[in-house]
Structure 1
Amino acid sequence: MKFDLHTHHFRCGHADGNIRDYIEAGIQNGLKVIGISDHTPYFGHPEDRAFPHIAMAKSEFANYVEEVLSLKKEYDGVIDVLLGIESDFFPEHVEAYRQVLNSYPFDYIIGSVHSTGGVSIFNKNRWKHLGAKEQIAVKTEYYRLIGESARSGMFQILGHIDAMKGNYPGFSDIPAPGPLDECLKIIGDSGVAIEINTSGKTKLSGGWYPSDDILERALRYGVPVTFGSDAHKPSRVGDELEQVAARLKEIGFTSWVYFKEQRQIEVPL
């Protein structure tokens, strides 16, 4: 059964198309389930739309939920449309996010760490002039935050857990196996899934998030996996899903999961 749980649309300010476009693309690509999961507003910021090209406005959030639920009814029997959201994880604002997100009937919430130390993980300039110890410290903090997000109980899925390599491929070579393994152990113990996210191909790193090495480690720690294209244009819905499924089988996975009404549903590979 084909599914894709990570899609965006115009409300976030950096994606093309409306929600219906992504649903129609899912139907054309043979999906049985499509999750709509645009970026949350910045609930910890006083402004309605603090970053117009990164996330939707707070005033649009209820409209987003209403539109997805309406389309879910419209497409019933054709494709299962799931109400999802991709939420930033800021430890200092956890309760503000939790309060808002718990007010809506999300099928699942993707938790993603998009910044450390107040700097975007995709900002390649952050690595300039950093020595080896400083690089290890940055990577350690990144995986500490991801582990903390798993422990928070807010999320069913963790997004692109090595996306820091996106615009800095050398991230993968920074030696910090201890923090990574500790993070994966926490994720496995929490029961949260990680996504195989094919949007890495659009960044300097190429390929998918996470790497095969991380997936092999995740399997050892009993971490469930799911699929998300992280599509920011309809043509990428379901992108490389079959290739991901084949690679997961080679690594040793026998199933992957999706979430409906926050219940984990296992699907054989």
Structure 2
Amino acid sequence: MKFDLHTHHERCGHAIGTIRDYVEAGIQNGLSVIGISDHSPYFASAVDREQPGIAMAKSEFSLYIAEVLRLKEEYSGKIDVLLGVESDFFPEHIQLYKQMYDQYPFDYIIGSVHLSGGVSIFNKNRFKGLTDIQLVEQKEIYYDLIEQSARSGVFQILGHIDAMRAYFTPFSAVPTESVDRTLKIIGEQDIAIEINTSGKTKACGGWYPVDAVLERALHYGVRVTFGSDAHVPERVGDEWDDVSKRLKEIGFKDWVYFKQKQRQIVAL
């Protein structure tokens, strides 16, 4: 069976199409399960919509959830529509975010680090002029945040855990033990990481994380799941077969999705 847990829609301000468009694309692409996981609002902000081109407004959040739940009912028997959200991780606000999420019947929550050291991980200029020592420091700050997100107890899935390489391909080769340390913690916390195929839309190409990280994830017993991170309906389920094949080659026997926050195991 095919599933895709990471999809967006027009509410976030940088995706195209309605939630229904993504559900229909899931059916057309042979998915049995589709998760809707748009970007969380900035709950700690004093304004309703802190970043109009990045995330939905706080006032849209309950409407988003209600729409996903309506479509879950409407498409029952055709495709299993799951309620998710891609949550930003801000350590100083994690309890506020948890309080917001606890009010709703989420099937899963994806925790993603998008800001590291106060700068977007997708900022194309963040690595310019850095020394080798500074590159190591930046990588360790990033993975420390991911480790904290794993320990928070809020998330079932961690999103795109090496996406800082999106516009800086050498990021993968920056030497530090922080990646192994973080994967060990993720394994101990018994949560999943996603194989996210949206890396193909960035300068780095490929998907997140790179094979070397997946090999270490297997070593530490980390569960894996699939997410296209589609921001257009046409990308729903993108590269599913390629990812499945590669995971088998690495040595994984299965992968997972989450329903009512309970892990569902799917053989590869």
Q: Residue 36 of structure 1 aligns with which residue? A: 36
Within a 5 Å distance, the mapping from 1:143-162 to structure 2 comes to 143-162=143-162
For 1:216 and 1:28, locate their aligned partners in 2 and report how far apart those are by CA, in whole Å: 32
Q: Residue 185 of structure 1 aligns with which residue? A: 184
Q: Residue 129 of structure 1 aligns with which residue? A: 129
Q: What letter is aligned with 1:77?
A: G
Q: Secondary structure of 1:126's partner?
A: coil
Q: Residue 51 of structure 1 aligns with which residue? A: 51
Deviations, residues 179-200 of structure 1 (Å, cap 9, x unaligned): 1100000000001100000000
Q: Given the two structures, how large is their TM-score scaled by the length of structure 2?
A: 0.99
Q: Residue 195 of structure 1 aligns with which residue? A: 194
Structure 2: gaps (5+ residues): none
Q: Secondary structure of 1:7's partner?
A: coil
Q: Secondary structure of 2:109's partner?
A: strand
Deviations, residues 151-172 of structure 1 (Å, cap 9, x unaligned): 0000000000000000111211
Structure 1: gaps (5+ residues): none
Q: What letter is aligned with 1:233?
A: V
Deviation at 1:82, TM superposition (A): 0.1
Deviation at 1:173, TM superposition (A): 1.6
Matched, 1:93 2:93: yes
Deviation at 1:79, TM superposition (A): 0.2
Deviations, residues 31-83 of structure 1 (Å, cap 9, x unaligned): 00000000000011111000000000000000000000000000000000000
Q: What letter is aligned with 2:171?
A: F
Q: Secondary structure of 1:35's partner?
A: strand
In angstroms, what is the RMSD of aligned CA positions?
0.5
- 4+ aligned runs moved over 6 Å, structure 1: none
Q: Residue 7 of structure 1 aligns with which residue? A: 7
Deviations, residues 92-134 of structure 1 (Å, cap 9, x unaligned): 1111101001111000000000011110001021111111111
Q: Residue 113 of structure 2 aligns with which residue? A: 113
Deviations, residues 215-265 of structure 1 (Å, cap 9, x unaligned): 000000000000000000000000000110000000000000000000000
Q: Given the two structures, how large is their TM-score scaled by the length of structure 1?
A: 0.99
Q: Residue 263 of structure 2 aligns with which residue? A: 264
